[in-house]
Amino acid sequence: MEKSYVIGLDYGSDSVRAVLVDASNGNEMTSSVFYYPRWKKGEFCNASASQFRQHPMDYIEGLEATVKDCLKKTEGVLTPQQVKAISVDTTGSTPVAVDERGVPLALLDEFANNPNAMFVLWKDHTAVEEAQQINDHAEKFDINYLQYVGGVYSSEWFWAKLLRTLRVDESVRKAMYTWVEHCDYIPFLLTGGTRAVDIKRSVCAAGHKSLWAAEFGGLPPNTFFSALDPLLDGVTDRLFTDTYTSDQSAGTLSTEWAERLGLTTEVVVGVGAFDCHMGAVGGEIEPYYVSKVIGTSTCDILVAPKEEIANTLVKGICGQVDGSVIPGMIGMEAGQSAFGDAYAWFKQILLWPVKNLLADSGILPDGDLKKVLDFVDDQVIPQLGRQAEALPVTATSELALDWFNGRRTPDADQTLKAALQGLNLGTDAPRIFRAIVEATCFGAKSIVDRFKNEGIPVKGIIGLGGVAKKSPYIMQTMADVINMPIRVHKSEQTCALGAAMFAATAAGIYDKVEDAMQAMGQGFEHTYEPRPEMVAIYAERYLQYRKLGIFVENIKE
């Protein structure tokens, strides 16, 4: 019997990754990574203003480059006819303004360099005022339209970003037909869509970020939005009512994209979803286990049978939606706005003299200078980790707050800032790094505690992503802080693998995604067990972390 293959595409913050997978067993045949060139140059972004935009051409070029590269690497091993499906996951909420044809405005000449016409990346926090206005406005209505998104709307989400864009850019406002999530746009592109009204919207994005709920009959009514700001009047008419789970097909490859990729028009394109949701499936999530996708930020996913959750609503998380992860189960999302980004920030602080003073000194030839810079850049975090791990942990050790990019969960507030406490003349780089590591782990514990305090049991943690696989020190610290075992998944690309599992299901190779998960899952490579002697000290330090957080919240402007 001829083998079937599927492709999973994972759009991250810095790059897009494609994996070509054997649908019968999940074996990765090949993979390819494309780093967004415009993003890498820092184009269209202003970190000091929390503005992070991505040009659609970064996404489109990456799509074509990675898929073609995967196929080239497997020439002679498989044929294009054996590739049966493609599914996509993306960051989110990462929406964009499109015209009536569904074309992102940034692809039009007049908007080619306009950041407001580009995808507004998940971590863009320019809409903090709009988010607060949505929260205040929702309190005026008898129906709580925020009840399925944890009761707090975030500046990282769909409506806040839309309102901000409409307010600050009249040209975009006049040209925009509708507002579309990245995970919904790529399947529409691949299937050759020509009308924005035909875009199949994923229940994942719609339920967690757009206030869509079956219980409301769809989105909140136009009166909710027009009363918030007249600029939103009529916008819902150009959005959507129906949503789709990711085990469904969005269509098949268009002739154009089949030719561009070197595939056939029979390739099924699955409905898209957010990276952490498909990553949880790729990481073989189980009911009541928190699947923690750890990268620049974290996204924490928990699934539970619908009949067991009943009417339980968890406050302060990023939503709970029927079918957003596994069809037939309630998917709950939480997360931390900065995890790896917190370490990256500290690394850039330490690298400043190397990059600036050494570069300007003329001491080293350019070739040697690059070698030095690359070596230091590569080694500083691992070396800090080794030295931090050897330090004794005491009740009076330096303490940090991990809100470098605001707080996502629990209780989203992107206006909050990070903090360091307890510094003295003996404080050095490893001690500060340790405090930041502990803070990110304390932030992880606060999410677990919120689930438990709201009546959702947590049986354990599943660690996914680069940090989970590459940093034993961080993962052991997290196990000690949360006081739960953490299983780390084998796959290097759980998000892309999850997308491949959904592709196989959308193509009909499997009846349901649980079957694909069982057949294609790669298992776990390591379990971190909490150390009793560290659990006690971290329990004490966690209380200090909580007190520091309350202090910072009380003094924010």
- pTM for the whole structure: 0.91
- Confidence at 168, pLDDT banded by 50, 70, 90: very high
Q: Around 545, how many Cα atoms within 13 Å sit in the side-chain half-sphere?
A: 25
Any domain includes 306: no
Q: For position 390, which CATH number holds?
A: 3.30.420.40
| Shared-domain flag, residues 246 and 149 | yes
Any domain includes 515: no
Q: Give the count of domains, the chain.
A: 2
Burial of 534 from C-beta contacts in 10 A (0-12 / 13-18 / 19+): middle
Average pLDDT over the chain, rounded to an integer: 95
Whether residue 104 is predicted with pLDDT greater than 70 in this model: the reply is yes
- Confidence at 206, pLDDT banded by 50, 70, 90: very high
212-269 pLDDT, tens digit each: 999 999 999 999 999 999 999 999 999 999 999 999 999 999 999 999 999 999 999 9
| Shared-domain flag, residues 352 and 270 | no
- pLDDT for 80 equals 94
Radius of gyration over every alpha carbon of the chain, rounded to an integer in angstroms: 23
- Confidence at 1, pLDDT banded by 50, 70, 90: low
420-467 pLDDT, tens digit each: 999 999 999 999 999 999 999 999 999 999 999 999 999 999 999 888
- pLDDT for 529 equals 98
> Is residue 100 within 8 Å of 177, Cβ to Cβ?
yes
Question: What percent of the chain is predicted at pLDDT more than 70?
Answer: 99
| Shared-domain flag, residues 251 and 386 | no
- pLDDT for 9 equals 98
| Shared-domain flag, residues 235 and 89 | yes
- pLDDT for 107 equals 98
Any domain includes 189: yes
| Shared-domain flag, residues 463 and 360 | yes
- pLDDT for 2 equals 81
Q: Which helix (H) or strand (E) holds 291?
A: strand 289-294
Q: Which helix (H) or strand (E) holds 289?
A: strand 289-294
| Shared-domain flag, residues 262 and 345 | no
Which residue's structure tokens are 């030719």? 259
Question: What percent of the chain is predicted at pLDDT more than 90?
Answer: 90
- Cα angle 514-520-521, degrees, rounded to a multiple of 5: 80
Q: Which residue segment(s) compose the domain that 345 sits in?
A: 340-490+525-555
